Amino acid sequence: MKRLLLPLLLAAVCACSPKSVPAGSSAKADTDIVILYDNDVHCSVDGYAEMAALKAEKRKHTPYVTLVSAGDYVQGGSLGAASKGGYIVDIMNAVGYDFVTLGNHEFDYAIPRLKELTQMLKATVLCCNLIDLKADQRMYKPYEIVNYGGTKVAFIGGATPYSFNSSTPAYFQDEKGNYVYSLSADTYYDTFQNFVNDARALGADYVVAITHLGDDVDYDPINSQSLAANTYDIDVILDGHSHSLVPQRILKNKVGRDVLYSQTGAHFDNIGVLTITPDGKVSTELVSVKAYGKKDPAVQAVIDQKKQAYAALGARKIGHSEIKLPAKNEDGDWLVRKYETSLGDLCADAFRITLGTDIAMVGGGSLRANLPAGDLRYDDIFNVFPFNNSACTASLTGQQILDVLEFGVGAWPTDFGGFLHVSGLTYEFDPSIESPVVYDVNKAFVRIDAGPRRIFNVRVLDPETGNYEPLDPTRTYTVGGTTYLLRDAGDGYEMLKGLGHDTGTPDLDLLEKYIVDHLKGDIRMSEYGESQQRIKQK
């Protein structure tokens, strides 16, 4: 999502009056309650020292300071991936977070590792909608009430139900493919409302929802706006997932009352500050981390120690690139989730050529950072492929490939992590045709209806002639990609579930091997200076 530059503070006030206080609870906080919040840090650890410094600064003026995170903290960068989230948890513990909820990328190391990380985390994990179906219980506390000198604030956490597909679906299933965890997609609003009611019954004066839902109403039907519209008695939603920069927004709840909403952007560009004053005014403001500049020395020391532990691996040179290969444009908007890019071409080539398959497919959501021009370090390619996916091969008929490609453009022009970059194959698509792809509530593939398709003129490379020939729907082709796509049905590709064979080679190692061995360490302008027009739009 686009991230705008901010001045030091962007503030907005919602004139929300406090709820009626239950009998016997007449005392009220005599100074401000301050809640500092972040979302979608994605291992951008340099903001944690500023967060700790801001916490200390606020505590000079009020004893009531709480730190919360709306998710996606342990994945998305090399420090997280190298330690499977452990380094990030150590840093967050040093800062002193009080509450966190789960982003979809907290599941990226699988449920057993999630359990380890949340046991290590000193903060309380709040998630009202994650259920262990075998144990028939919630995995984490749904909410907690904090008493600030007589004013009670309930914090309720919630993860996006689409974590099943934006992480790895197999992580939520048993060996037979049965779901053994639920994110309550079918009962999301009722689940949230029940715990809001519980918190109010226990005397909560305010309810703050810490959610990882996002505000993309076109792509995720269960989003922050729909949560507000289908519930009541939530005062504030501190959100994440869509990387939106929202200093404040007023949403309407089920009975027409205001709900204050905020997101900080992403990657620690900003820290959010929610303030509840003694006279009942509720406000949010965003503090630019760069402009704030102050750092807590103890937390910075922990960050430096973790960086040093990673540095020897990350600094290793693997090659050189004559050009920058982009995942995003200059405004920070994703390119790889909607358009063919030279980075997508490079990575798809790495899979096809290294694995020796007929074609290769790589989802744009797996490409997480630009590959810079100049000398390439291990850290640079780690940032492109931070998810520790394994390389995978599968045998697919031409008809299956047509269906997969159709699903890949089904969401266009909406950004979609499953938009496929290809190698050994070219195709065209017509976005003016209504997509025939049908999804279920979890954004997973159900079927492709009869009628016109967006995909046409699909051609496959003949390695002997160097020419591209029409794809044969009845022929079987070998396909390279990741386990996330070809085995685990990532991004909703249910038609691929269980079809892939895991090679055991990490995607990162495969990309390094392609650059070092096949390209002889040089990514040249002549080959990857721009996209190779494998995907054409009518």
Please tell me the pTM assigned to this model.
0.74
Gap between the Cα atoms of 495 and 492, Å rounded? 9
Model confidence at 389, pLDDT cuts 50, 70, 90, reads confident
Is 120 part of a structural domain of the chain? yes
Q: What is the pLDDT of residue 167?
A: 63
**Above 60 in pLDDT, residue 85?**
yes
**Above 50 in pLDDT, residue 18?**
no
**Above 50 in pLDDT, residue 24?**
no
Gap between the Cα atoms of 52 and 296, Å rounded? 6
Q: Which residue has the higher pLDDT, 224 or 312?
A: 224
CATH number, domain with residue 195: 3.60.21.10
> Which of 289, 309, 329 is the last residue in one of the domains?
309
Q: What is the pLDDT of residue 438?
A: 84
CA nearest neighbour of 210 among 54, 55, 37: 37
Is 452 part of a structural domain of the chain? yes
Q: Tell whether 300 and 173 lie within a shared domain.
A: yes
Q: What is the pLDDT of residue 41?
A: 95
Residue whose token pair is 């003026």: 61
Is 470 part of a structural domain of the chain? yes
Q: Tell me what the pLDDT averaged over the chain comes to.
A: 90
Both tokens of residue 223? Answer: 């989003």
Q: What is the pLDDT of residue 3?
A: 30
Structural domain containing residue 505? 315-537
Q: What is the pLDDT of residue 27?
A: 65
Q: Tell whether 159 and 263 lie within a shared domain.
A: yes
Is 1 part of a structural domain of the chain? no
Average pLDDT in the 152-156 region? 98
CB-CB neighbours of 465 under 10 Å: 8
Q: Tell whether 304 and 319 lie within a shared domain.
A: no
Q: What is the pLDDT of residue 28?
A: 83
**Positive or negative CA dihedral for 382, 383, 388, 393?**
negative
* Cβ pair 192, 185 in contact under 8 A: no
CATH number, domain with residue 478: 3.90.780.10
Q: What is the pLDDT of residue 22?
A: 33
Q: Tell whether 370 and 488 lie within a shared domain.
A: yes
Is 182 part of a structural domain of the chain? yes
Q: What is the pLDDT of residue 13?
A: 37
Q: Tell whether 344 and 469 lie within a shared domain.
A: yes
Q: Tell whether 533 and 440 lie within a shared domain.
A: yes
> Which of 275, 309, 343 is the last residue in one of the domains?
309
> Which of 278, 309, 340 is the last residue in one of the domains?
309
Q: What is the pLDDT of residue 349?
A: 97
Query: What is the DSSP code string of 193-245?
Result: HHHHHHHHHTT-SEEEEEEE--S-TTT-SS-HHHHHHT--S--EEE--SS--E
Q: Tell whether 144 and 272 lie within a shared domain.
A: yes
Average pLDDT in the 111-134 region? 97
Is 489 part of a structural domain of the chain? yes
Q: Tell whether 300 and 337 lie within a shared domain.
A: no
Domain count for the chain? 2
Both tokens of residue 75? Answer: 């994945």
CA nearest neighbour of 164 among 149, 153, 145, 178: 178
Q: Tell whether 301 and 357 lie within a shared domain.
A: no
As to burial, measured by CB atoms within 10 angstroms (0-12 exposed, 13-18 middle, 19+ buried), residue 467 is: exposed
Q: Lowest mean pLDDT: which of 58-67, 398-407, 492-501?
A: 492-501
Q: Tell whether 154 and 114 lie within a shared domain.
A: yes
Residue whose token pair is 């801001």: 54
Model confidence at 441, pLDDT cuts 50, 70, 90, reads low
Q: What is the pLDDT of residue 474?
A: 96
Residue whose token pair is 């205001």: 258
**Above 90 in pLDDT, residue 350?**
yes
Q: Tell whether 273 and 362 lie within a shared domain.
A: no
Is 2 part of a structural domain of the chain? no
Q: Which residue has the higher pLDDT, 489 or 320?
A: 320
Is 72 part of a structural domain of the chain? yes
Q: What is the pLDDT of residue 2?
A: 30
Model confidence at 83, pLDDT cuts 50, 70, 90, reads confident
Both tokens of residue 475? Answer: 């022929």
Q: Tell whether 56 and 123 lie within a shared domain.
A: yes
How confident is the model over 29-44, as pLDDT tens digits?
Answer: 889 999 999 999 999 9
CA nearest neighbour of 81 among 47, 105, 51, 49: 105
476-482 and 359-363 strand pairing = parallel
How confident is the model over 273-302, as pLDDT tens digits?
Answer: 999 999 999 999 999 999 999 999 999 999
